[in-house]
Amino acid sequence: MKRHFVEFFSPGTFVAESTVRPVEQWDVVEAMEMARSVEERHGATPYGFRFITRERKAGELDSHVADTSAMFFLGGKVLTLRQVEARNDPSDKILISNMKCNDIGRVVQNDNSYRSVQPLRKGDEVLSWTKHA
């Protein structure tokens, strides 16, 4: 048995808030539309999503994650370490340190609700998206 899900990520207090919903297939357009109805605590809305496929074989009691997609960011601005440093903003001190220490070359800054800055990894995609259709 296989089931597909989309997991939405929204800014949280310490870690991302997440909402998981079932889908028939990994469909980016459908997930983008679904994102418009997701709202977490304090009005936080998604900055991105990923797909998950869970599987369970005959005789297995619980399912396991069989496959996950890369992240799909719902809009946002891609920034390199150099661009973040060039802003010369004292509030970027921790971001710059984290990028250097963790060898993160690019991040996505998203302001769909609360500001979220996330690593942009190989295979991730920044979609053209607005919160309201």
pLDDT of 131 reads: 79
pLDDT of 39 reads: 92
pLDDT of 57 reads: 87
Exposed / middle / buried, residue 39 (Cβ in 10 Å: 0-12, 13-18, 19+): middle
d(CA 32, CA 49): 9
Q: What is the pLDDT along the chain (133 residues), one digit of tens a residue?
A: 999 999 999 999 889 999 999 999 999 999 999 999 999 999 999 999 999 999 998 888 888 899 999 999 999 999 999 999 999 999 999 999 999 999 999 999 999 999 999 999 999 999 998 877 6
Q: Which of 79, 86, 81, 83 is nearest to 126 (CA)?
A: 79
- Yes or no: say if 85 and 99 are a contact pair by the CB < 8 Å rule: no
Q: Note the pTM of the prediction, 2 decimals.
A: 0.92
Place of tokens 């390199």: 80
d(CA 76, CA 110): 4
The SS3 of residue 38 is: coil
All structural domains of the chain with their residue ranges: 2-73, 76-122
pLDDT of 58 reads: 86
Pairing relationship of beta strands 72-74 and 125-127 according to DSSP bridges? parallel
